[in-house]
Amino acid sequence: MSDGLTSDINARPWQTKALTLLRDPLTLALLAIVVMLGIGEALSPGFARGDQIVRLLTVAALLGIAAAGQNLVILSGGAGIDLSVGALISFGAVVAGNVMNGADAAILPAILAAIAVTFLFGCVNGIGVTVIRIPPIVMTLGMMAVVQGGLVVFSQGIPSGNAAPALMNFINKPMLFGLPGILFAWLALSIAMVILLRRTSLGFAIYAIGANEQAARLVGLPVKTVRVLVFGLSGALAGLTGVMVIGYTGNSFISVGDQYMLPTIIAVVIGGTSLAGGSGGYVGTVAGAIALVLLQSLLTTLHLEVWGRQLIFGATLLVLLGMYGRQQAPRV
Amino acid sequence: MRALLKMERPAWLLAAAALVVLVVINGLVQKGFFAPMVLQSNLTTFLPLVLVAIGQTYVILAGDIDLSVGAVAALVNVITVSVMAALGGSAGAIAAGMAAGILVAVACGLLNGLLIAVLRLQPMVTTFGTGIIFSALALWVLPQAGLVVPDAYWSTYGGAILDVPTVLWILLLAGLFVFVLARLPFQSWLKAVGGNRSGAFQSGLPLTGIRIKAFVLSAIFAGLAALCLTGETATGDPLMGQSLGMGSISAVALGGTLLSGGVGGAMGSILGALLLGMIGNVIYFAGLPYEYQTLVQGLIVLAALAGGVVLARR
């Protein structure tokens, strides 16, 4: 297994290994990606063409960056979930748009401002969850409403701020090897996430807290600090996504991030991270984000009516979930 | 008196107190708030969320969650309106439309329950997925908002029966249902399933059946909310009720029910839903600049949720 903390201790016959591999969410997600590309190419030649795939990966990168934060929150357990990512993406986009206002020179300050503000919002989530002990789903739901309200005040309800040309090129134009810069940024983030989760004490603490919070506290892990940090990171990554989103669309409106909220959760779950916390990883989430975006794109090329597309999307989601997202049966 | 205070305090007491405060404030800021017409129109606005929140409570008590309620409401709305229109709008057509809507709601609830309790899929993601499917079906039945509801339907809903407004009848009947159900063993089973699932299983409770029933109840209440929305808007709209999912969860939490399951009750959720509506009302009439209204509403809801959690722990 490439993700998770388990390793193959026992040598098992290859049939068992093959079966385990096939039940591995990452393998399944990759398999689903290949199959969907095949179906798309068969139905509409050119679907799996290079530039189409690059386009698709760009959209997946936006989802994947936001899902990284969601992944950390879910991994750290305690019914951890962040429903405010959508609103924070919007907030990041609006802040970044207003700070840079079309000027290339202001890109870095814009990114820093967006990340700083959303990091603080995320930390407030974390403090609400750990100190006041509000359940994460309630805290982040409330935060979502507050941030949306803050956006209305901040922008007076009018779309405001423009992306700088260099940022738009970074996301929409080829930079190196015919790939836009955002894909390299996503790759760098993915490597950073894997190192964070697999090679740092913070990563081990996240898994430990997610698997068994009480045990983690008893061995002296700073449970509250880690959890506040994790929510803060989720906010910051949502803010970063917001910057990318405004670069992708050119300008920002106050609900631009709403559509990302539930997909981040789904990408994480499809990628094999357990909503109970403690097991999973970011590589699966990357595959999950790509699979999700690919599915949407495939359904768009099918020229179905909206309802047909939605129906297949929902059904596929349930099938994917049924293949490995099942929960344990109660035992005597 | 001491003993009375020591008795198990119902979780909804806090919501009730907050509601009283808000009613007083509302009476001060909104002229004629206590006029029967104004009360009736407010209740008409709040009623759909109240009904959905009642159903959501049973699912949450059992340790699950139902994000599909908004989509169920949209599907029931378009089915009801389409059946009424197809059968010509007589009294029989109205009854058939309502029955068809509720039947569809039951089917939606059964699907949710089967996927989650029998196939053991994760509730939040599953009901999000089934919600997408239900919205898709609603768009298939009625691609665009339209179709007119028979006059008798919306005029009865907006009017009065035996001099009591229909909406008040519905609220009272819903309250009676909640009251009765709270005294049946079923609600204790729900709490057992949500509070300690393996314990409930070991003591021989039929977990699967109980969880399925909770999802069916939730869907039926979403269907009833749809019938109310249909009476209010007098039209079919496949995109109706999208805010009901998150709104109902907030209402349940405000009403003192633990979202992790096992503790709480639907009476609190009724108060929580009314509270949410009243908060919006007070802010609207308090004369705040428009752009600050959402922010203040969000802050108050968050503060109320946090306060409820803190006080419930004492």
DSSP 8-state class, residue A44: S
- Residues of chain A contacting B131 with CB distance shorter than 8 Å: 314
Residue where the block lists tokens 């398999």: A31
Shortest alpha-carbon distance between residue B162 and chain A (Å): 41
Average pLDDT, rounded, for chain B: 85
Ordered by start, the domain boundaries in chain A are 26-324
**Which pLDDT does position A11 carry in this prediction?**
57
**Which pLDDT does position B312 carry in this prediction?**
63
Does the CB of B309 have a partner CB in chain A at under 8 Å?
yes
* ipTM exceeds 0.85, yes or no: no
Does the CB of B263 have a partner CB in chain A at under 8 Å?
no
Instruction: Indicate which of A88, A138, A299, A311 best probes the interface with B, i.e. most B CBs within 10 Å of its own CB.
Output: A138
Q: How far apart are CA A323 and CA B172, in angstroms?
A: 44
CA-closest candidate to residue B212, choices B75, B117, B81, B72: B117
Tokens, residue B236: 């079919």
- Residues of chain A contacting B314 with CB distance shorter than 8 Å: none
Burial letters B168-187, b for 16+ CB under 10 A, else e? bebbeebeeebeebeeeeeb
Partners of B236 in the beta sheet?
B146
Instruction: Indicate which of B291, B297, B314 best probes the interface with A, i.e. most A CBs within 10 Å of its own CB.
Output: B291
Does the CB of B45 have a partner CB in chain A at under 8 Å?
no
Residue B9's pLDDT band (cuts 50, 70, 90): low
Report all structural domains of chain B as residue ranges with CATH numbers, in order of start: 2-313 (1.10.3470)
DSSP 8-state class, residue A105: G
**Which pLDDT does position B53 carry in this prediction?**
95
Nearest CA in chain B to A83: B246
Residue A6 CB contacts under 8 Å (≥ 6 apart), including other chains: none
Tokens, residue B276: 């949410």
Q: Could you report the per-residue pLDDT of B149-201, keeping only the tens digit for each?
A: 887 888 888 888 888 888 889 999 999 999 999 899 888 888 888 888 888 88
Nearest CA in chain A to B247: A141
Instruction: Indicate which of B122, B137, B313 best probes the interface with A, i.e. most A CBs within 10 Å of its own CB.
Output: B122
- The verdict on a CB contact (< 8 Å) between B136 and A332 is no
Partner residue facing A145 (CB), from B198, B298, B309: B298
* A and B: number of Cβ contacts within 8 A: 151
- Residues of chain A contacting B63 with CB distance shorter than 8 Å: none
Q: Tens digit of pLDDT per residue, chain A (332 long)? A: 444 455 555 556 676 777 666 667 778 778 888 888 888 888 888 787 778 888 889 999 999 999 999 999 999 988 788 989 999 999 999 999 888 887 888 889 999 999 999 999 999 999 999 988 888 887 888 898 889 888 888 877 676 777 788 888 788 878 778 788 899 999 999 999 999 998 998 999 999 998 888 888 888 889 999 999 999 999 999 999 999 999 898 877 778 888 888 889 888 888 888 877 888 889 989 988 998 898 888 888 877 778 888 888 888 778 877 776 666 676 65
**Which pLDDT does position A236 carry in this prediction?**
96
**Which pLDDT does position A258 carry in this prediction?**
82
- Residues of chain B contacting A327 with CB distance shorter than 8 Å: 120-122
Q: How far apart are CA A49 and CA A308, in angstroms?
A: 25
Any idea which fold A26-324 has? ABC transporter involved in vitamin B12 uptake, BtuC (1.10.3470)
Does the CB of B218 have a partner CB in chain A at under 8 Å?
no
DSSP 8-state class, residue B118: I
Residue B36 CA, distance from chain mean position: 23
Composition of chain A by helix, strand, coil, percent to 5: 75, 0, 25
Q: How far apart are CA A267 and CA B191, in angstroms?
A: 31
Between A332 and B277, residue with greater pLDDT:
B277
Q: How far apart are CA A268 and CA A265, in angstroms?
A: 5
Q: How far apart are CA B143 and CA B141, in angstroms?
A: 6
Task: Give the CA-trace dihedral at A261, A263, A269, A272, to 10 degrees.
Answer: -120
Pairing of strands B160-161, B146-148: unpaired
Q: Could you report the per-residue pLDDT of B231-263, keeping only the tens digit for each?
A: 888 888 888 887 888 889 888 888 888 777 788
With beta carbons less than 8 A apart as the criterion, state whether B137 and A307 touch: yes
Instruction: Indicate which of B302, B310, B311, B314 best probes the interface with A, i.e. most A CBs within 10 Å of its own CB.
Output: B302
Residue B242 identity (one-letter amino acid): Q
Shortest alpha-carbon distance between residue A170 and chain B (Å): 33
Q: Could you report the per-residue pLDDT of B36-61, keeping only the tens digit for each?
A: 888 888 888 899 999 999 999 999 99
Tokens, residue A130: 């750990």
Residue where the block lists tokens 């009403």: B255
**Which pLDDT does position A181 carry in this prediction?**
86
Residue B112's pLDDT band (cuts 50, 70, 90): very high
- Residues of chain A contacting B305 with CB distance shorter than 8 Å: 134, 138-139, 142
Residue A16 CB contacts under 8 Å (≥ 6 apart), including other chains: none
**Which pLDDT does position B283 carry in this prediction?**
81
